[in-house]
Amino acid sequence: MELILSTLINGLSLGGIYAMIALGYTMVYGIAKMLNFAHGDIIMVGGYVIYVFMATKNPLLAVAMAVIFCVCLGILIEKVAYKPLRGASPLAVLITAIGVSYLLQSLAQIIFGSANKMVTVYDFGSISFLGVTVQVSALVTLACTIVVMIALTLFVKCTRVGRAMIAVSEDKGAAQLMGINVNGIITITFAIGSALAALAGLFYLLKAPTISSTLGAMPGIKAFTAAVIGGIGSIPGAMLGGILLGMVECISYKITAIAPYTDAIEFSILIIILLVRPTGFLGKKRREKV
């Protein structure tokens, strides 16, 4: 019972992190119609910025700087690497995104070295609950994810910019005719996605206080998996997919027989879901017209 409860909470917390990253993927994919491979690496950049600013011993300042830096970086990447390719073939955009991801990883490794860095952002400690010891940071992560998701949903549904985002994701050309600044909206989307990635970087550091240049690569891919499982372009879908994937990962780690195959299991789930439901659980089915 205690094992189940602790697995459940850890799974939810890990799922929260995945959901946070998946939200960034899903928004960018929904609006710019591109898979931003570099998204995972922005998590890593956020982590390193926190590491640098933790020298001031002020966690809030470090987190704020990480968010600001990542937002600027996200906008810069969008302007330099992706904007010139708007209207080009999706393959070209995808390869550029891979290039950017590679670039960020190698830059980080050159600046900070290949050795892992240790950084403790804030020690929340742990509490006992129904006989189970739970890391408070896991609960904080979960709470933050829920708050962010609600805020994001409200933002998209109730503000002008949010509704413009929906319009752009539905039909870019028609949105432009309606007087929406499409480029501006795409930039805002990248900014929001990058801010979420910075927060995800924070949660990663709360979970395990080590950071390396490949910190974001695997979570990035897994979060994209989560976004696809939930239905790409859908905000609740990203949340659902993230939590599902987090739970699967935590449960799989607890079962000794299949623990080494955790990654393989998660990716197999992705392949199976794409085969059965190519649009994910909550994605809209769209018929292709000539």
Partner 1 sequence: MMPNKLKKIKIKHYINYVVIGIMTAVFAIITLTGGRLDSSLLYLLEKIAISIILAVSLSLVVGFLGELSLGHAGFMCVGAYLGGKVSALLADVLGTGFINLLISIVAGAAVAAICGIIIGIPALRLRGDYLAIVTLAFGEIVKSIFQNTSSESFGGALGLSTPRYDKKWLFIYAFLIVLLTLAVVQNFIRSKHGRAVTAIRDNEIAARATGINVTKYKLLTFTLSATFAGIAGVLYSFSNYTVQSVKFGYNYSIEILVMVVLGGMGSINGSILVAALITFLNTKLATILTGDLAVLQNLIYAVILIGIVIYNNAPALKNFRNTYNFNALMKKLFKREDDPSRVGDDTAKWDVVPTKIEMNEVLSIDLVPQDMQDLTGKGGDK
**Is residue 89 a contact residue for partner 1 (CB under 8 A)?**
yes
**Distance linking the first and last C-alpha atoms of the chain:** 55
95 is an interface residue for partner 1 by CB under 8 A: yes
Tell me how far CA of residue 218 lies from CA of 7, 44, 70, 267, 279, in angstroms: 21, 11, 19, 11, 22
**Total H helices, total E strands in the chain:** 11, 4
**Residue 70 burial (C-beta neighbours within 10 Å; 0-12, 13-18, 19+):** buried
User: CB–CB of 146/13 below 8 Å?
Assistant: no
- Please count the residues of this chain forming the interface with partner 1, following the rule CB under 8 A: 46
- Of 88 and 147, which has the nearer Cβ to partner 1? 88
CA distances from 141 to 43, 51, 125, 200 (A): 15, 19, 14, 9
Q: Which of 131, 158, 208, 288: binder of partner 1 (CB under 8 A)?
A: 288
Instruction: State yes or no: residue 267 binds partner 1 (CB under 8 A).
Output: yes
- Contact call for residue 118 and partner 1 (CB under 8 A): no
Q: Under the criterion CB under 8 A, does residue 264 sit at the interface with partner 1?
A: yes
The answer to whether 106 contacts partner 1 (rule: CB under 8 A) is yes
The stretch among 5-13, 80-88, 118-126, 190-198 that binds partner 1 (CB under 8 A) is: 80-88
What are the residues binding partner 1 (CB under 8 A)? 29, 34-35, 81, 84-92, 94-96, 98-100, 102-103, 105-107, 109-110, 113-114, 217, 221, 224-225, 228, 260-261, 263-264, 267-268, 270-271, 274-275, 278, 288, 290
